[in-house]
Copies of this chain bind each other. A is one copy, B any other.
Amino acid sequence: MKHISLVYLLFFYSQFIIANNDLLPSWTDGPTKSAILHFVEETTQKDHPHYIPVEERIATFDQDGTLWVEQPLNTQLFFAIDHIKLFAPQHPDWKEKEPFKTILMHDVAGLKAFDEREIEQIIAVTHANMTVHEYKKAVQEWLQKAIHPHFKKPFTELVYQPMLEVIQLLQKHGFKTYIVSGSGQEFIRAYAEKIYGIPPEHVIGSASKVKYIYQNDCPALLKLSELLFVDDKAGKPEAISLIIGRRPFAAFGNSIGDREMLEWTQAGCGKRLELLVYHNDAIREYAYGPNSKIGTFSFALMEEAKKRGWLVVSMKDDWKMIFAWESPCKLP
């Protein structure tokens, strides 16, 4: 009897140890989770043929839809809309002038149909003619009070816990983890260190020009409305070349905007990892992609992922939990 208790205790204890050594606790055990863990194991073991020297360990993550929620609209667009409403009293002409009119009339269908030029006009009045410092403060202040319309939570709580675990797993193994996003670089830098543990120098995003000026004799950097580069599609490997100057060994995305980044990553020699998050969980998050009218995970991208052997994460099946607040006890 005593013996049985001891065996049971040992078994229980070993399970506890395993659970505590699980570096991806929010991931369902299966081929996707294994592939990520194997990649990290193989590339960081000194005697393994896939070993990557620590200085070359670069991993790049798209943000919107890969690290946090991007529906019903991109978070930066929510920020822009709220600021247009805020500035509207000083611009009576906006009531009749597009794209501002659509925003002020709460025309969601119209909003979703904005083309690139219209989005740029919105960005210009909400993201320029202030210093980089002032802009960062405005983003941080907005994030403290803004609430996501569907989840009724702050946007900064809509981070995918499983992806946070992947970032931490890679960082723990000497990888430099970069965000490479179509959203604005300074927008992301305002919160990336706090919510992802990614410092400003590892944030790459679409960038507007800045101008060195003097404010009351003190130097300052003024954000201009003119874009320097758009960090999307082919712009992603181009910006990675500009800012990192190394090819990533792992790249994570969720849409056609990430296709070239994954392709560029895979074209390097040695072991590489390419992963796409597929939003197919209408209950816990959103379902969009090849079978949906929203989102940019096209049929062609799914076909390409299959052909090239890119990992496709099924949010529904591969993720035990999506957000940290889903769990009664917060995961480490």
Contacts and interface: CB of A to CB of B under 8 A. Distances in A.
Contacts of A260: 212, 219
B241 A132 contact: yes
Interface in A158-182: 176
A263 B213 CA distance: 12
A30 to B, nearest CB: 30
A79 interface: no
A241 B210 CA distance: 8
Nearest to A235: B212
A172 to B, nearest CB: 17
A243 interface: yes
A236 to B, nearest CB: 8
Contact of A242 (B55, B228, B238, B245): B228
A267 interface: yes
Contacts of A201: 58, 176, 243-246
A250 interface: no
A128 to B, nearest CB: 14
Given A221-B241, A228-B229, A241-B132, A246 B211 contact: no
A194 to B, nearest CB: 12
B210 A238 contact: yes
Interface residues of A, number: 36
A234 interface: yes
A133 to B, nearest CB: 10
A218 B243 CA distance: 22
A286 interface: no
Contacts of A242: 185, 207, 210, 228
B219 A263 contact: yes
Interface in A189-246: 189, 193, 199-201, 203, 207, 209-212, 218-219, 221, 228-229, 234-235, 237-238, 241-246
Contacts of A246: 199-201
A288 interface: no
15 contacts: A176-B201, A185-B242, A201-B243, A201-B244, A201-B245, A201-B246, A203-B245, A207-B242, A209-B238, A210-B238, A210-B242, A212-B235, A219-B263, A221-B237, A221-B238
Interface of A: 55, 58, 132, 176, 185-186, 189, 193, 199-201, 203, 207, 209-212, 218-219, 221, 228-229, 234-235, 237-238, 241-246, 260, 263-264, 267
Given A58-B201, A201-B246, A243-B243, 17 more contacts: A185-B245, A186-B245, A189-B245, A201-B243, A201-B244, A203-B245, A207-B242, A211-B234, A212-B234, A212-B235, A212-B260, A218-B267, A219-B260, A219-B264, A219-B267, A221-B241, A228-B242
The 4 A-B residue pairs whose C-beta atoms are closest, nearest first, are A200-B245, A212-B234, A201-B244, A221-B241
